[in-house]
Amino acid sequence: MNIAIAGCGYVGLVTGVCLAEAGHHVACIDIDRQKVIQLKKGSPPMYEPGLKELLNRNLEQGRIHFHTNGATAYPRADVLMIAVGTPQQADGQADLQYVFQAAKEMGTKAKTGAILVVKSTVPVGTGDQIDQLIHQELERKEPLSIASNPEFLREGSAISDTLRADRLVIGAETKIVLDQLEEMYADFHLPVVRTDRKSAEMIKYASNAFLATKISFMNEIASICEKTGADVEWVAQGMGLDQRIGSSFLRAGIGYGGSCFPKDTNALVQIAGHVSHDFELLKAVIKVNNEQRSGFIRSIQDRLGANLEGKKIALLGLSFKPNTDDMREAPSVPIAHALHQLGAKLVAYDPVATRHAARKLPDQVLFAQTIEEAIKGADAVCILTEWADIQSFPLSAYQDFMRQPIIFDGRNCHTLEAAALAEVEYHSIGRRPVSPIYM
């Protein structure tokens, strides 16, 4: 098939290279000229394991092309996909201006019989609005089928999440469109959910909101564990073996971040509000998530004092999760700003995200090239992202490099036994503190 994709962000680019890998001819369009130049040279704008290799292989084989507009690609395409951003507006609603812009252009240029597929995360009913925009406002004569095909990939494992997804969700109003889209993905051999457009749009929000709920639920349990003496890691293990609950997304920590959960949970609260439904449960999920960061700061102040003037604190891990350089809604940002406000001198380390982080953290933060350099002479360390090198950094080395080995682990990277053995003071989430003075 000939496929044109508007938007070369995570979703558009990963979908594009994976469809090209399946043998389709893919044209990816992005208005960012610099990004397009880099992509034509085989250099993706973001760090994502496996993406560069797949991009280069498909560029060499001539199955993927990049353009700054859809002038040539849209009229040729059998399937036109919208994968542009839907950023959060001040009131929490998704901003759909880029989606509608792309839809308009596609609506005027697409050939007869083509299918317009919305991959971006959009509120329920957006497909209907696009339909109306194209067929009534633009007065397009030949019908253009509009479908919803939400994306469930995660940053850091985007390629395998796409090629080996748990499910493929296709929402469309006719059987023929559902069949054609299923055929487009046939090589991926995925379980398929065929549904109507609105349900497909809702599946995406409901899935992200449910996963965010699991995380906030565990973070609440973690707070209660801290107060009662239970251990949240054991609790998560014991719960997760129940197949009805499942073991994933039960990791307590400093809360979820990234470009999706914070935005999509807020948007779903708004979507519910528009139909006069007060989504109290999801509002609480969002509140608990914000509270995780304040609680982490409070635990540092409880130990080091309310005023952190003159204290050197090392921040280990800055991206919102490992294996990505994405800093969007990363918990490290509010935590760094709060610690800076309290007077702490901050030194930060991240294996890949420092360039992006420098724009978001306070100007006074120093960046270290290695973990050793970051923790040297520090009064405390905060582990904020569970990168592999941070997890495997030996606890005993904190003893060697720090002024006093006090660790606040926001990601529960170490066992309490290992902390006790290394004779470091170790504060984590939902578990008792370990300290040579408590032993």
Consult the annotation and say whether 112 binds a ligand: no
The count of chain residues that interact with ligand UGA, using the rule CB under 6 A, is: 20
The reply to whether 6 sits near ligand UGA by the rule CB under 6 A is no
Q: Is 260 a catalytic residue?
A: yes
Among 66, 185, 296, 320, binds ligand UGA (CB under 6 A): 320
Catalytic residue of the set 8, 260, 382, 413: 260
Q: Is 257 in the site for ligand UGA (CB under 6 A)?
A: yes
The single residue among 153, 181, 209, 327 that binds ligand UGA, judged by CB under 6 A, is 153
Contact status: 208 vs ligand UGA (CB under 6 A): yes
- Determine the interface stretch with ligand UGA among 58-66, 93-101, 244-252, 426-434 (rule: CB under 6 A): 244-252
Q: Is 151 in the site for ligand UGA (CB under 6 A)?
A: yes
Residue from 66, 205, 256, 393 touching ligand UGA (CB under 6 A): that is 256
List the one residue from 155, 226, 379, 425 that touches ligand UGA (CB under 6 A).
155
Q: Which of 199, 188, 101 is nearest to 150 (CA)?
A: 199
Which phi and psi (to 5°) does residue 86 adopt? -125, 70
Does residue 250 bind ligand UGA (CB under 6 A)?
yes
**Considering the rule CB under 6 A, would residue 85 count as an interface residue with ligand UGA?**
no
Residue 279 touches ligand UGA, criterion: CB under 6 A: no
Does residue 249 belong to the site contacting ligand UGA (CB under 6 A)? yes
Per the annotation, does 153 bind a ligand?
A: yes
Q: Which stretch binds ligand UGA (CB under 6 A): 150-158, 347-355, 362-370, 391-399?
A: 150-158
Quote the Cα angle for 343-346-349, to 5°: 165
Q: How far is the CB of 391 from ligand UGA (least distance, A)?
A: 13
Site residues for ligand UGA per CB under 6 A = 121, 151-155, 208, 211, 215, 249-251, 253, 256-258, 260-261, 320-321
> What are the catalytic residues?
260
Summarize the annotated binding site for substrate as residue ranges. 152-155, 204, 249-253, 257, 321
